[in-house]
């Protein structure tokens, strides 16, 4: 390779990089300020069985959690103005058949009435995050609630469509395990992605679903549980999605796109040359 060619190639590369940089600057807006909390839970695709009973498994700790802030439940009576659980870290994984979601949150004391729950919309119908309560101008759907309480030591698969309609389903599909250590609860819920039960949320890899969270600090204050029933820490709807299988057909389309573009160049140059000769 001659020295001249080398210089040309270097110059071209610099120009190309500069062009890319300029295009990037034009094409991208800076991210909005103050976006510190997450908007979605990602269920990472893994192989083999899920560590549903080993809450300190390396597989859990290697996942970057999503974090959601929580508020006292003020939407309907009985309200509460101050709650123990202020935020929750959420990790998730699935293996194409089952899913597991870990909720990790701070609670200074371990109490038998401590509880945590996940809530989902069922099907495509929108449901209000407060137990799927009725909306005035929109026909709402039901919600599916996965409820775990320390003293039960297991999960309850529940349904609701409006206040005072919350009840355990006939068919129980959810499992849960919780462990408290040094002021932090780790609770893992697990379930098959698809249950075949109409009352359940069905998780299809690649599709977005809505999820919300709730927590109760069951600490006894003067013989009464600090938080119970509608007095709890809550979030409104966020998103959850099971990671889809990698789709290699995308690369076929990319190659096709490159081939079409190169063909277009070839014919364009040939046309201009012909025009010049005429």
Partner 1 sequence: MKGPLAQTGILLVGMYVFLKFILPLFTAPLPASLIFLYLALTVAAAMIFYTMSGAGLEEFMGPIGRFLTGEGQKGVATTARVMVFMLFPLLVGWQTYTKLAPSDVPPPENRTIHPAPPGEFVGLSNPFQKTQENIMMGKGLYAAFCSPCHGANFDGKGPASVGFNPPPANFGDPGTIAQLQESYLFWRIKKGGVGLPVEGMPWKSAMPRWEVELPDEWIWKIIMGEYDGAGQSPRTWEEEE
Closest approach, Cβ 274 to partner 1, in A, equals 10
Residue 203 found at the interface with partner 1 (CB under 8 A)? no
Which of the ranges 127-135, 164-172, 174-182, 190-198 carries the binding residues for partner 1, by CB under 8 A? 127-135
CA distance 62 to 91: 10
Closest approach, Cβ 152 to partner 1, in A, equals 25
Residue 258 found at the interface with partner 1 (CB under 8 A)? yes
Residue 206 found at the interface with partner 1 (CB under 8 A)? yes
Among 89, 128, 131, 186, binds partner 1 (CB under 8 A): 128
Q: Kindly tell me which of 196 and 276 has the beta carbon lying closer to partner 1.
A: 276
Exposed, middle or buried: residue 126 (CB in 10 Å: 0-12, 13-18, 19+)?
A: middle
Verify cis geometry, omega within 30 degrees of 0, for the bond prior to 78: yes
Beta strands per DSSP E along the chain: 40-45, 66-69, 71-72, 87-94, 98-106, 115-121, 143-149, 154-160, 167-168, 175-181, 184-192, 208-216, 220-221, 224-225, 233-234, 238-242
Residue 124 found at the interface with partner 1 (CB under 8 A)? no
Q: Which residues in 67-106 contact partner 1 (CB under 8 A)? A: 68-72, 74-77, 79, 81-82, 86
* C-alpha distance across the termini of the chain, in Å: 37
Closest approach, Cβ 123 to partner 1, in A, equals 13
Residue 135 found at the interface with partner 1 (CB under 8 A)? yes
CA distance 219 to 113: 7
How far, rounded to the nearest angstrom, does the alpha carbon of residue 153 sit from its chain's CA centroid? 25
Q: Angle at CA 266, nearest 5°, toward 260 and 272?
A: 130
Residue 221 found at the interface with partner 1 (CB under 8 A)? no
Among 55, 115, 118, 234, binds partner 1 (CB under 8 A): 234
Among 18, 19, 21, 49, binds partner 1 (CB under 8 A): 19
Residue 208 found at the interface with partner 1 (CB under 8 A)? yes
Closest approach, Cβ 135 to partner 1, in A, equals 5
Beta bridge partners of 91: 102
Exposed, middle or buried: residue 101 (CB in 10 Å: 0-12, 13-18, 19+)?
A: buried
- Applying CB under 8 A, the site for partner 1 has a residue count of 74
Q: Which residues in 29-58 contact partner 1 (CB under 8 A)? A: 29, 39-40, 42
Q: Which residues in 138-167 contact partner 1 (CB under 8 A)? A: 138, 140
Which tokens sit at 259?
A: 């081939």
């Amino acid at each position: 390779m001659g020295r001249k060619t080398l210089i040309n190639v270097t110059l071209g590369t610099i120009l190309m990089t500069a062009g890319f940089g300029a295009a990037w600057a034009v094409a991208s807006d800076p991210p909005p300020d103050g976006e510190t909390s997450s908007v979605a839970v990602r269920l990472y695709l893994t192989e083999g069985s899920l560590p549903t009973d080993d809450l300190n498994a390396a597989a859990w700790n290697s996942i970057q959690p999503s974090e959601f802030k929580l508020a006292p439940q003020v939407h309907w009576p009985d309200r509460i103005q101050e709650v123990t659980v202020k935020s929750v870290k959420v990790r998730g994984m699935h293996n194409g058949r089952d899913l597991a979601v870990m909720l990790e949150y701070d609670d200074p004391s371990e109490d038998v009435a401590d509880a945590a729950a996940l809530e989902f919309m069922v099907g495509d119908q929108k449901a209000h995050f407060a137990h799927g309560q009725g909306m005035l101008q929109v026909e709402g759907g039901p919600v599916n609630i996965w409820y775990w309480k320390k003293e039960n030591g297991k999960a309850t698969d529940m349904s609701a469509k409006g206040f005072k309609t919350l009840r355990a389903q006939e068919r129980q599909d959810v499992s849960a395990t919780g462990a408290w250590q040094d002021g932090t609860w780790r609770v893992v819920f697990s379930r098959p992605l698809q249950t075949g039960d109409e009352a359940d949320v069905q998780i299809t890899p690649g599709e977005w679903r809505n999820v919300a969270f709730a927590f109760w600090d069951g600490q006894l204050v003067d013989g009464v549980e600090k938080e119970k029933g509608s007095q709890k820490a809550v979030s409104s709807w966020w998103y959850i999605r099971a990671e889809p299988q990698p789709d290699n057909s995308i690369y076929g389309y990319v190659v096709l796109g490159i081939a079409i573009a190169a063909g277009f160049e070839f014919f364009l140059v040939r046309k201009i040359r012909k025009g010049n000769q005429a």
